[in-house]
Amino acid sequence: MPVVTIALGILNVIILIFGLISHSQEQIIRDYGFIPDRLILALSQSLVSTSFADVLIRLFSSMFIHANIGHLVFNILALAYLGGYAERSVGSFRYLFIYLAAGVVGALFYGAISTFILGNSHTLLIGASGAISGVLGIAAAAGNNRAYYWLLIQIVFAIIGTFTALQIAFTAHIGGFIAGMLLTKVLAMVEYKRRIKYLK
């Protein structure tokens, strides 16, 4: 039973339902979505400032917020499709760590592209797509080569998105995927060396 995958799915559903029922969804998005230029501003002030703490909270909270039911359903289906496979491949604890780390890296990668290339660092980012892309990265590192085709599609759409008004953060998907894949490979290498040392 992929308990972490199920728990993450339920948590995302509960947060959206709460926002819709309480009519506070727009406020939640404003208060907890990630905005790249706030990170730049916070870094220019101090790493221990209140604004920097707010940015750190947003980096994590943004991956549990969705704009609407359609946005949530798409991400939950993607999580359900490969989440169980990925969780069984690396173990629940490592899976949760990679999921959260990929979500953060995806947001930071999106922020870097938005700030230094596209010049729209004020755009707010929400959704679990970056973290779920990390799950696909786990699958790719575990031997599911079809996940690489998905990455290629994200790169193509990221390029298209620079010339159009697509409201999807494809760069966050790319950053999350790469983070998930690399972290999985690193953790696998560490585990392999640990076992070799133990056998000796």
The residues spanned by each domain of the chain are 3-199
Architecture of domain 3-199: Up-down Bundle (1.20)
At 173, the pLDDT band (50, 70, 90 cuts) reads very high
Residue 134, both tokens: 């990390």
| Run of H or E residues at 107 | helix 92-113
Instruction: Label residue 23 left, alpha or beta by phi (over 0 means left) and psi (-120 to 50 means alpha).
Output: left
Neighbours of 76 (CB within 10 A): 20
Confirm if 173 and 133 have CB atoms less than 8 A apart: yes
Band (pLDDT 50/70/90 cuts) for residue 166 is low
Confidence band of 48 (pLDDT split at 50, 70, 90): low
Give pLDDT tens digits for 106-120: 999 999 998 888 888
The β-bridge partners of 34 are: 125
pLDDT-derived band of residue 183, with 50, 70 and 90 as boundaries? very high
How much is the pTM? 0.91
How far the first Cα of the chain sits from its last, in Å, is 33
Give the residue numbers annotated as catalytic, written as ranges.
129, 173
